[in-house]
Structure 1
Amino acid sequence: MNEVDFLLWVKGPAFSIALFIFVAGLVLRLFEILSLGRKVNYAVPKGDPMQGGLREIFRRFWTDKATFQRSMLTIVAGYVFHIGLFVVIFLLAAHVEVFKSVLGFGWPNLSTPVVDAFAVVTMIALVVVLIHRLQHPVKRFLSTPGDYVVWAVTFIPLLTGYMAYHHLLLSPSLMLGLHILSVEVLLIVFPFTKLMHTFTVFLSRWYNGASMGLRGVKS
């Protein structure tokens, strides 16, 4: 298989397979979570669960002062790479075109140099997070192999995308193929790793907030 055949394969059959596994896995995991249900609460409601759930979703985007001072590096780096990932994934012109081909619609994009800068900052933040995890005795002890897999499958698409755009190391077509392949690996493992928190974080926040809202307690 030459470079052209490899690029066509990752753009065609491999992408279709990865997308199918991603969607099927996502549906399966969400079904598992939602099918757990919740016990019927016979207590008289003292508040609005919907309001409590929505309040908790947005409240948790902000960190209290004590927690921020205690874990400043983790919090700042976390915000940086999450925002950076969002910009790179959803606002790069080439990526918008991919979403358009899959979903049937697109949206405005940022200029490539701007997204490129976000990619660099995001990679730096991810490296900082990894080094901190390795150096922090408690975090290192609590880390599992899956945590490092999640880091790798998140970092490698950024790195290969950056290298493909700047024509580094390998030929542009081969590096682009490796970039697309790394994204497909990310899609495949996504539903079965902690990356799933991208979706479940909002469900868990709403559930906790709704439970407290039902009891009339502000989270």
Structure 2
Amino acid sequence: MEFLNWVRGPGLEYATVIFLVGILMRFLEMWLIGRKPDLSRPRASASRAGWRAVWRRSLPSEGLMKNSPLVMIAGYVFHIGFLLVLLFYVPHIHFFKDVLGFGWSGLPTPVINFLSILTIAALVALLIHRLIDPVRRFLSTSQDYIVWAVTTLPVVTGYMAMHMDVMPYTTMLALHILSVEILMVVFPFTKLMHAFTFAVSRYYNGAAMGRKGVQL
């Protein structure tokens, strides 16, 4: 019980501070890098091209779907499933309500269970593909496997806390919360940061190319 109280109290506070400060530092770093002013005559609307790039780059890539459908499908399933479980599982909503002061409607538990299993399956499929594909395995670094682990653990431990009597519920719940806190601590300093920067980078590249008359 002391372990659960710690992860719900000081542990969560430490993780939240590191998470927020880390994200702020990363955005500050990007802002300080800056960019050189483009003095060329614009050939098209940069903002329109930027938003077009954000939208089009978020859709399934025809080339990747043809050459590596598993990566494409599992990637979408994992991202969407993870987000839905995070935002629409009722106990999660209660937590957000305590923090934010407002909540929203959740999804039925059977739907959350299905999404959790689907998300775990997609993550496992992506790991197996990374291990057996020679090119992807060669390009992978230790950070890729760490990111996979800290992303997968919250989903697995959360599902186990609700459905498996592997250990006392309070212990399993504490491990689940701890896994989330580890994810929060690691998040700003790894590739996970793309969750906040992907739209910015796509817009920037699209706007830069669009200004030159190039369509992405």
Give TM-score scaled by structure 2 length. Answer: 0.97
Helix, strand or coil for the counterpart of 2:165? Answer: coil
1:26 match: 23
In structure 2, what is the Cα distance between the partners aligned to 1:17 and 1:44? 49
For residues 37 and 63 of structure 2, the distance between their equivalents in structure 1, rounded to whole angstroms, comes to: 36
Q: Which residue of 2 aligns with 1:46?
A: 43
Please list, as runs of the form range in 1=range in 2, the aligned pairs for 1:46-195 lying within 5 A after superposition.
46-195=43-192
AA aligned opposite 1:19: T
Once the two structures are TM-superposed, the CA of residue 196 in structure 1 deviates from its matched residue by 0.5
Deviations 1:107-130 (CA, angstroms, capped at 9, x unpaired): 221112211110001000100100
Where 1:105 maps in the other structure, the secondary structure is: coil
Aligned-partner SS, 1:140? helix
- Are 2:211 and 1:214 equivalent residues in the alignment? yes
Indicate yes or no: 2:197 matched with 1:200.
Answer: yes
In 1: Cα distance, 2:102 partner to 2:212 partner: 42
CA distance in 2, matches of 1:161, 1:42: 52
1:13 aligns with 2:41: no
Offset of 1:190 from its aligned partner?
0.3
Deviation at 1:158, TM superposition (A): 0.7
Residues 9-42 of structure 1: per-residue CA shift (max 9 Å, x gap): 1111100110010000000001111221111111
CA distance in 2 between partners of 1:125 and 1:168 (Å): 24
Report the Cα distance in structure 1 between the residues aligned to 2:122 and 2:64, rounded to whole angstroms.
Answer: 19
Letter in 2 for 1:49: A
Structure 2 CA distance for partners of 1:64 and 1:148, relative to 1, 3 Å? closer
AA aligned to 1:78 is G
The residue type equivalent to 2:137 in the other structure is: R
- Secondary structure, counterpart of 2:34 in structure 1: coil
Aligned amino acid, residue 5 of structure 1: E
| Superposition misfits of 4+ residues, deviation over 3 angstroms | none
User: What SS class does the counterpart of residue 25 from structure 1 fall into?
Assistant: helix
Q: Distance in 2 between matches of 1:64 and 1:197?
A: 18
Provide the C-alpha distance between the structure 1 equivalents of 2:89 and 2:60, rounded to a whole number of angstroms. Answer: 29
Supply the distance in 1 between the matched residues of 2:164 and 2:74 (Cα, whole angstroms): 28
Q: Give structure 1 stretches of 5+ with no counterpart.
A: none
Q: What 5-or-longer segments of structure 2 have no aligned partner?
A: none
1-structure distance, mates of 2:165, 2:87:
23
Quote how far apart the aligned CAs of 1:96 are. Answer: 1.2
Q: Separation in 1 of the partners of 2:86 and 2:74?
A: 18
Q: TM-score, normalised by structure 1?
A: 0.96
| 3-state secondary structure, aligned to 1:212 | helix
